[in-house]
Structure 1
């Protein structure tokens, strides 16, 4: 016979029953992810706003360098299609030891939004020249994954997550938090220079970037710093081109994600672990609702993402390997909502 408490729990369970359906921007359960369902891409007015830099192990024939710096300009399409709502994570609070009937269920419900990302390059170059940079229209990235919005109870205020699977053989779990504001995106100035490839300056002193770039080992960075890729992109300051984001912002949802939080992390196949270990990833997404005009986009999705690759012993006297920032940035606009007729990506 069901007790009153059992009955209440059963009603709650039925009310929170799991459902998988086409995602919709009218679904309040998506929380900070509400505007994402549908297709985002680099349209004609945002053509080529994707930029990427990555250092890769490379044996230069007859040269002194053991790596090359690859830079890409790209276009992207990312589709958010299915929502899996009220995914139950079962838990229990056992209460005080020895107190009968003091335990309560502490189930957490999660809302997940799947995505698939496709990136093709417009142009690419590397230094030293390898002949491996690739041609225009080359597919350079494919990533299926999930964005998560976690309900209560939460751990340390962590309320969002991202699960990403990369064909190179990497699987990443990034945790984070979100905020909403009516202010424009605040772009942090980050360095694309490797960490541990040179001694740190004395305590209290700032890094003299121009002096640092005179070191022979950083010649690839100096090359693109002095000769901006496509006349625009400087891998020494890879976030700089995001400063052109619009300021006529009505609402701004910011997603902060980091694989170093709590028990998040990155796992790689053995070859990647031994050759260029992917150790961490941080990313910031801005979902921007604009007070635009008739010929301007209403919604923009911008991001900066830094993945750390570790290879070659550090040169600053510290233990471990050099950390090489692999930075990607982009700005896209919403072009289509997800519908039952177009839940996936037939164009790929």
Structure 2
């Protein structure tokens, strides 16, 4: 990866419509534009987003339900804020300055349900077209004064009443970056005897009755569905027989250094969002005609804390993974008209 440009002290901060390939964006330079689930036919989207969440379910035994969604997503990166100054007193000899400069790339995420199922059945899973997530946020690229190799951050605001800061590192690797194979959505603190524990019956249900959403296994032989006990399998299968020439890896974690999540009181009291880790793989895929397709995969795990005491006797509440995966392609560059009233007037 090219070294970030060093901003001069007298250089103006400015906001502009982001451009793909802009070296000022550093590890984010392939992101500007709109990413979505590829259309398999006009107006029909692929539905390659999948997630799983455990939710408190009053009156049920066990007192929670597991909800699985298939979804379509739009993720738009539009504006870049360059030369954002953070004032400091300690000198960074690499840039000969006490101040830190940051480049930020804003995003808007919108997710709509394609299909859903829950167990025990609540009657609240909803149908196709239901809005299930909206998130405005910022990706941050720290140009100097990094600590412990941390060079990127993600600020996310969630309408439920959560605000998250994840910190992390970026890397560019040749070829296909590996997708982790040991990701499970099984709750932490309830044991692992899924065969015999009544408490784990919802997980066993979806292991034995695999959620396939709108995909017909008869028409797509061998489709494994979304299994919460092997949550990244569909990501890994989606990489078969692709000529990925290079991958940019963006890894964010709210448990690093001063990162974290802040929630409104109800969330803290009832089902606290305690941590979030997300990894984005930006893949450059060589096509037969010599062009390059930009594709994004991601894995996100949010840990929700609810129910005390834990059945395993350890301190604290049970920790419930909320797992999301998706595979998207870039379909458009940023629209200058969208950002023209928010960019810096440099005339």
Could you tell me the TM-score, scaled by structure 1's length?
A: 0.86
Q: Which residue of 1 aligns with 2:237?
A: 244
CA RMSD of aligned residues (A): 1.9
Distance in 2 between the 1:149 and 1:17 partners? 17
The equivalent position to 2:151 in structure 1, one of 129, 148, 159, is: 159
The equivalent position to 1:321 in structure 2, one of 275, 298, 317, is: 317
Q: Which residue of 2 aligns with 1:77?
A: 74
C-alpha displacement at 1:187, in angstroms?
A: 1.0
Q: Unpaired runs of 5+ in structure 2?
A: 1-6, 213-223, 341-347
Q: Does structure 2 conserve the Cα–Cα contact (< 8 Å) formed by 1:121 and 1:138? A: yes
Deviations 1:22-47 (A, max 9, x none): 00013110000001000000122470
More divergent stretch after superposition (184-193 vs 118-127): 184-193
1:226 equivalenced with 2:198 (yes/no): no
Deviations 1:262-302 (A, max 9, x none): 01000100000000000000011001111123499700011
Q: Does structure 1 conserve the Cα–Cα contact (< 8 Å) formed by 2:101 and 2:144? A: yes
C-alpha displacement at 1:342, in angstroms?
A: 3.8
Partner SS state of residue 212, structure 1: coil
1:146 equivalenced with 2:138 (yes/no): yes
Q: Which residue of 1 aligns with 2:18?
A: 23
Q: Does structure 2 conserve the Cα–Cα contact (< 8 Å) formed by 1:185 and 1:245? A: no
The equivalent position to 1:108 in structure 2, one of 76, 100, 124, is: 100
Greater share of residues in helix: 1
C-alpha displacement at 1:141, in angstroms?
A: 0.2
C-alpha displacement at 1:214, in angstroms?
A: 2.5
Distance in 1 between the 2:90 and 2:142 partners? 18
1:43-82 aligned within 5 A: 43-45=38-40, 47-60=46-59, 63-82=60-79
Q: Unpaired runs of 5+ in structure 1?
A: 1-10, 96-103, 199-208
| Number of equivalent positions | 312
1:109-124 aligned within 5 A: 109-124=101-116
1:81-230 aligned within 5 A: 81-93=78-90, 105-189=97-181, 190-198=183-191, 211-230=193-212
Distance in 2 between the 1:331 and 1:338 partners? 20
Q: Which residue of 2 aligns with 1:41?
A: 36
Distance in 2 between the 1:324 and 1:142 partners? 21
Q: Does structure 1 conserve the Cα–Cα contact (< 8 Å) formed by 2:298 and 2:327? A: yes
Partner SS state of residue 20, structure 1: strand
